[in-house]
Structure 1
Amino acid sequence: MSMPRQPEPGQGPEPPPERAFEEVAEAVRTDPLDSLSVLGASWKWALGSALVTLIAGILILVWPNETLHVLAILIGLYLLVAGVFRFVSAFSRGEHGERWPTLLAAVVFVVAGVLCLRGPQQTITFLALLVGVVWLVSGMLGACRAVVNKDLPHRGFTFAIALLGVVAGIVVLCLPIESAVALTRLLGLWLLLLGVAELVGAFAIRSALRRA
């Protein structure tokens, strides 16, 4: 009489199909790109980005008489953190073609942040030019994404925020700024406006997710 075959040492019984499917699903859920996609599409992530902008605007406004070096550090840190938020948000786009404007904007923010933090030799003109270019380029990229992607949620509001960024960049680039105090007030006010707009957008995303 043949004996039943015993499993080899170190090997257990094969998991049932349901268990195997759950393991595959768990592997998909833990994929880094999938995690970035879920995180970037979260309204809480958009809320965090808005709070970063608001806090940066408040900090810049409450220290209007600080040195240019302190102002450069505040602006540089804001640009770096905002670039990270935009980088993660780019992976919430379903198609690769929809990601490149947000990814490019994230690169612009990070590079500008590094330039702001590179040393104490910045001038008023350099900081104004740098921030103006960042807002102008990122605003144009955001407006382009809103125009091209007709299925973008809250497309009109996204376009409005991008347009606000374009206007902010043009104002900073065109107005003559001769002192750190003037630059501080201008940048602080624009950051507050942009932060409020992003805050409204974050709650709009939450409403859309709840309806869905």
Structure 2
Amino acid sequence: MTESQGTAGPSSGTDPFTGRPLRDDPEDVLGRLGGSWTWMLGSALATLVPGILLLVWPDATLQVVAVLFGLYLLVTGAFRFVAVFGQERGERVPGLLISVLFVLAGVLCMRNPLQTIAALSVIVGVVWLVSGLLTAYTAVAAKDLPHRGVLFAAALLGIVAGIVVLALPSESAVALTRLLGLWLVLLGLMEIAVAFAWRSAVRRITA
């Protein structure tokens, strides 16, 4: 990250992974927030909570499922957008693509909650499949990323979830609700594991 000259804000410490001074400009503030394990945990909870709601409410109508899933996609997209700034500039493209994909899919779900089961299944399957592939690419390309194996496992789970939803289109709202709820809970638990793995990596480096 290039440092501005002359009017740069005061240093706010040192990045534990790059060793560079942190400043109070908006990009660095977003970077510290997006790179914190608590932010990752918040993103994981944004995935886990809708999954639990769908599992305990299997008789929800298709409109409710679409709205719940649309909110999940929008909130998760916002979390992932901020998390992008916690990465090196050269590694941000996959994260930006994922966040844009989540937001666009969330808008589609919220804009037309009366859509068919098949349409909702396609939206969900494509989002999980593409985001899983991009996350897997990040895990492979970022050689110095701590706990790459955990992140890669989360990516594989997303890929499998996308393939399952696309290959097994549900014939009823109840079946779709249970399927989406199950995968959201599994993805949320995996993301929680990623967050705690990141916390342990930060603590080990800063110790």
TM interval, short-chain normalised: 0.7 to 0.9
Cα displacement string for residues 59-85 of structure 1 (whole angstroms, at most 9, x for unaligned residues): 111221121111110000000000001
Which structure is larger by alpha-carbon Rg, 1 or 2?
1
Q: Which runs of 5+ in 2 are unaligned?
A: 1-5, 13-21
Task: Provide the rounded CA distance (Å) in 2 between the counterparts of 1:160 and 1:127.
Answer: 25
Letter in 1 for 2:100: V
TM-score (norm 1): 0.86
- 2:129–2:160 CA contact under 8 A, matched in 1: yes
- Identify the match of residue 102 of structure 1 among 85, 95, 98: 95
- Identify the match of residue 45 of structure 1 among 39, 48, 51: 39
Task: Provide the rounded CA distance (Å) in 1 between the counterparts of 2:156 and 2:112.
Answer: 32
Letter in 1 for 2:168: L
State the Cα distance separating 1:102 from its structure 2 match. 0.6
Residue-pair matches, total: 191
- 2:73–2:106 CA contact under 8 A, matched in 1: yes
- Identify the match of residue 68 of structure 2 among 43, 68, 74: 74
- 2:128–2:162 CA contact under 8 A, matched in 1: yes
Letter in 2 for 1:24: G
Partner of 2:187: 194
CA RMSD of aligned residues (A): 1.8
- Identify the match of residue 25 of structure 1 among 10, 15, 20: 10
State the Cα distance separating 1:30 from its structure 2 match. 2.6
Letter in 2 for 1:119: N
Task: State the percentage of identical aligned residues.
Answer: 64
TM-score (norm 2): 0.88
State the Cα distance separating 1:26 from its structure 2 match. 5.7
Partner of 1:13: none
SS in 1 for 2:145: coil
